[in-house]
């Protein structure tokens, strides 16, 4: 390094004064070679960090000129070219009529893209929720509970979509799928709970607003595409279009539209009607048994156990008897022969 009083380096040899550039570069190379190897490894990363820091510092201090990023939606009345439009209260006179006429389309463009009042009913759609419940009830008066169920459905404008009933000695069991309007769902469910003793209760509410909106959008797109193909099929400018291919596409679109309409109808029915999976079980009280009944039941149980044991033995002999007889006959003669040889007096 040079002190403040040292002469600056020069690259032109014809000019007097200063230090020749070659000597200065040689001195730098000599000093670099005099550095230890460990310090030489740190020179390149240090220079790289210095360059990155300079680039970052330069980019951070770069000044953006005002009005360069003007937007047509600017509240200050900025135009598309970044110019500031005059306020509405200022009227031009004389030769400024042409300038006002030139600025009129820009003002109309700003008014067209200006923020309009948004209807809250359209911005926030009413959520579409499908309600369902599962209810299990126990009763001692099965016939009365079933008649109460029919009255509840009539009162709340519901109906039975599916019904299954099984009669058993211990008590009848009924399972049904009920459908009631969503507006009557809560009141109908509370009355169904009063039919008997609630054993199990489960409720669910599924929001299908997004699914319904997606179906609506798909239906509109399919209908627009169908209309476009039909117009193209009817008003063909030349014979280059394949009529059979267009008719096939229209048929496919029609089937897709019908499928989407079916899904939309099913989605609407899920929202308008709530499903209640209702189960009713009868509980009967068994009468108290007398001593004679208990003795009779005990005798019947003993006889049934005896017959069961005899039947078990017979089944064993029937299934394993032939095999046992075969092995007994096969082993009898060799055993008898060896026994006679060892004890002649045995037979």
Q: For residue range 278-303, what is the model confidence (pLDDT) as tens digits?
A: 999 988 776 667 888 888 888 889 99
Kindly give, in sequence order, each residue whose CB lies less than 8 Å from that of residue 37, ignoring residues fewer than 6 positions away.
Answer: none
Rounded to 10 degrees, the C-alpha dihedral 205/211/216/218 comes to -160
Paired residues of 137 in beta bridges: 198, 280
Tell how strand 173-181 and strand 9-10 pair up.
unpaired
Given pLDDT bands bounded at 50, 70 and 90, which one contains residue 61? low
Given pLDDT bands bounded at 50, 70 and 90, which one contains residue 121? very low
311 HSE (CA, 13 A, CB side) = 6
Classified as helix, coil or strand, 283 is coil
How far is Cα 177 from Cα 183, in angstroms, rounded to an integer? 18
Given pLDDT bands bounded at 50, 70 and 90, which one contains residue 211? confident
Phi first, then psi, for residue 160 (nearest 5°) are: -95, 115
Q: Alpha helices, DSSP H only, in the chain?
A: 21-34, 37-60, 97-112, 120-123, 142-155, 185-193, 209-234, 243-272, 291-342
Distances (CA, A) of 67 to 82, 104, 110, 305: 6, 21, 17, 104
How far is Cα 278 from Cα 282, in angstroms, rounded to an integer? 13
Residue 141 CB coordination number (10 Å): 13
Q: Which residue reads 């008898």 in tokens?
A: 336
Paired residues of 19 in beta bridges: 9
Find the range with the poorest average confidence among 48-52, 238-242, 252-256: 238-242
How far is Cα 340 from Cα 342, in angstroms, rounded to an integer? 5
301 HSE (CA, 13 A, CB side) = 6
- Decide: 149 and 278 in contact? Cβ < 8 Å: yes
- Decide: 214 and 263 in contact? Cβ < 8 Å: no
Residues of the chain with pLDDT > 70, as a percent, come to 69
- Average pLDDT score over residue span 63-92: 41
Q: Which residue reads 């193909």 in tokens?
A: 229
Q: Which residue reads 């951070």 in tokens?
A: 60
Closest CA to 141 of 200, 201, 197, 199: 197
- Decide: 161 and 177 in contact? Cβ < 8 Å: yes
Q: Which is more confidently placed, 154 or 73?
A: 154
Find the range with the poorest average confidence among 5-19, 21-35, 210-224, 296-310: 5-19
Residues of the chain with pLDDT > 90, as a percent, come to 15
pLDDT the model gives residue 45: 76
Q: Which is more confidently placed, 133 or 286?
A: 133
Closest CA to 152 of 182, 197, 195, 183: 195
How far is Cα 231 from Cα 208, in angstroms, rounded to an integer? 35
Given pLDDT bands bounded at 50, 70 and 90, which one contains residue 43? confident
Rounded to 10 degrees, the C-alpha dihedral 67/70/76/79 comes to 110
Phi first, then psi, for residue 243 (nearest 5°) are: -65, -40
Tokens of 248: 């096939």
Length of the chain: 347
Given pLDDT bands bounded at 50, 70 and 90, which one contains residue 67? very low
């Amino acid at each position: 390094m040079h002190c403040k009083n040292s002469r600056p380096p020069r690259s032109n040899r014809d000019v007097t004064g200063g230090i020749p550039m070659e000597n200065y570069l040689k001195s730098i190379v000599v000093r670099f070679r005099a550095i230890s190897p460990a310090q030489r490894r740190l020179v390149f990363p240090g220079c790289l960090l210095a360059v990155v820091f300079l680039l970052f510092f330069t980019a951070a201090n770069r000044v953006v000129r005002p009005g360069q990023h003007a937007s047509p939606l600017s509240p200050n009345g900025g135009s598309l070219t970044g110019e500031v439009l005059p306020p509405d209260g200022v009227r031009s006179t004389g030769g400024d009529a042409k300038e006002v006429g030139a600025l009129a389309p820009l003002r109309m463009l700003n008014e067209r893209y200006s923020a309009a009042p948004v209807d809250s009913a359209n911005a926030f759609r009413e959520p579409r929720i499908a309600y369902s419940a599962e209810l299990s009830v126990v009763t001692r008066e099965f016939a009365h509970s079933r008649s109460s169920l029919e009255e509840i459905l009539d009162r709340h404008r519901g109906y039975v979509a599916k019904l299954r009933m099984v009669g058993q000695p211990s008590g009848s069991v009924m399972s049904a799928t009920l459908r009631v309007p969503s507006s009557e769902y809560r009141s109908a469910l509370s009355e169904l709970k009063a039919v008997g003793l609630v054993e199990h209760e489960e409720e669910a509410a599924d929001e299908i607003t997004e699914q319904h909106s997606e179906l609506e959008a798909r239906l509109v797109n399919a209908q627009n595409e169908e209309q476009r193909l039909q117009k193209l099929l009817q008003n063909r400018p030349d014979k280059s279009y394949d009529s059979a291919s267009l008719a096939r596409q229209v048929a496919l679109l029609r089937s897709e539209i019908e499928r989407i309409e079916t899904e939309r109808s099913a989605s609407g029915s899920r929202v308008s009607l709530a499903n209640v999976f209702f189960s009713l079980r009868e509980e009967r009280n068994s009468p108290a048994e007398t001593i004679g009944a208990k003795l009779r039941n005990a005798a019947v149980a003993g006889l049934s156990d005896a017959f069961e044991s005899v039947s078990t033995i017979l089944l064993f002999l029937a299934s394993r008897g032939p095999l046992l007889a075969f092995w007994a006959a096969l082993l009898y003669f060799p055993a008898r022969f060896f026994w006679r040889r060892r004890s002649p007096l045995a037979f």
